[in-house]
């Protein structure tokens, strides 16, 4: 199974090289890393170019003109992954909150399960948030995901807000990514909601979610509040979707 890992980056100079090398060292047969960089001012794009030159068969970079948000970077990366013949696409952050050590298990799970998506999940039994977080921060994170988002959208996935997921390419095709409008953090919510409404099935494996150690967060109170409101927009936009509304012509066929 050819796996393309799509990593969106914005100012991840301290993390990128370590992340790419860790991924390339994993015991996985056919793994390719595609970095989607939004012209990071800290030079992440140059590091990405160097890594691509060092590993021409295993690493490549999409240079995007400026900071346009996580969602747009992911959609671009997903389309490129399909063009490069991926069987499955792994999405993950560059800050080590999503530990690469779970990747082989996620791939194995996708191969063995009768499912379409594997989620590295903080909210299934065995999943954990950073042990240094105080109880208040953990509660807020749990409430936002497990109460707020899941009450509105009624997702089956216990972790509907995380961004550590392995998708079969047919699923991304069938979802028709032009349906996905969110660009910020609610992108994760919109994609899993659309997938579930179209009848795709996710399996979750528990992860330990570590806080970033290097680099700076792009998350702010404004971004979080906007995401909270946009969950309603996601519900309104996609509430009528059904499995019969899957896209049937593969994206790559008319690309
Ligand atoms: N290409 C691109 N990547 C982005 C953008 N915003 C965030 N990212 C990347 O998306 C991933 C997640 O971003 P983070 O800043 O870690 O956000 P977070 O994980 O929600 O928050 P913290 O862990 O608290 O920092 C990281 O790899 C970022 O570099 C963007 O506008 N464009
Ligand atoms: Mg992070």
User: Could you identify the atom of ligand 1 that is nearest to the CA of residue 215?
Assistant: 25
Residue 59: enclosing H or E segment and its boundaries? strand 59-63
**Minimal-distance CA residue to ligand 1 atom 26:** 93
DSSP E strands, 139-240: 165-168, 202-206, 208-209
CA of 62 to the centre of ligand 1 (A): 16
The reply to whether ligand 1 has any atom less than 6 angstroms from the CB of 219 is yes
Domains recognised in the chain with CATH numbers: 3-254 (3.90.550.10)
What six digits make up the tokens of 9? 């980056």
Tell me, what's the pLDDT at 252?
56
Rounded CA-CA distance 10/92 in Å is: 13
Answer for the pair 111, 159: CB distance below 8 angstroms, yes or no: no
CA of 125 to the centre of ligand 1 (A): 26
Ligand 1 pocket mutation pick from 36, 70, 78, 186 by most atoms within 8 angstroms of CB: 70
**What are the 10-residue block averages of pLDDT along the chain, 255 residues in total?**
98 98 97 98 98 98 95 97 98 97 98 96 97 91 94 97 97 97 90 98 98 80 84 98 90 51
Tell me, what's the pLDDT at 183?
84
Measured in whole angstroms, how far is the alpha carbon of residue 117 from the centre of its chain? Answer: 11
CA of 221 to the centre of ligand 2 (A): 15
């Amino acid at each position: 199974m050819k796996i393309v890992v799509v990593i969106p980056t914005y100012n991840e100079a301290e993390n990128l090289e370590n992340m790419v090398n860790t991924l390339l060292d994993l015991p996985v047969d056919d793994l390719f890393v595609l970095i989607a960089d939004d012209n990071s001012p800290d030079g992440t794009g140059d590091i990405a170019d160097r890594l691509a030159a060092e590993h021409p068969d295993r690493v490549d970079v999409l240079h995007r003109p400026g900071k346009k948000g996580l969602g747009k970077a992911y959609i671009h990366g997903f389309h490129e992954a399909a063009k490069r013949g991926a069987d499955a696409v792994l999405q993950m952050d560059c800050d080590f909150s999503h530990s690469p050590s779970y990747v082989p298990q996620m791939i194995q799970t996708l191969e063995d399960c009768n499912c379409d998506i594997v989620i590295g999940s903080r909210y299934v039994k065995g999943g954990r948030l950073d042990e240094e977080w105080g109880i208040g921060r953990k509660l807020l994170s749990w409430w936002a995901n497990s109460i707020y988002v899941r009450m509105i959208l009624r997702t089956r996935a216990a972790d509907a807000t995380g961004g550590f997921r392995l998708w079969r390419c047919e699923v991304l095709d069938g979802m028709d990514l032009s349906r996905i409008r969110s660009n910020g953090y609610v992108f994760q919510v919109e994609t899993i909601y659309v997938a579930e409404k179209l009848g795709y099935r996710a399996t979750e494996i528990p992860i330990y979610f570590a806080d970033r150690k290097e680099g700076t967060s792009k998350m702010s109170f404004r971004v979080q509040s906007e995401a909270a409101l946009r969950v309603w927009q996601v519900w309104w936009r996609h509430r009528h979707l059904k499995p019969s509304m899957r896209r049937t012509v593969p994206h790559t066929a008319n690309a």
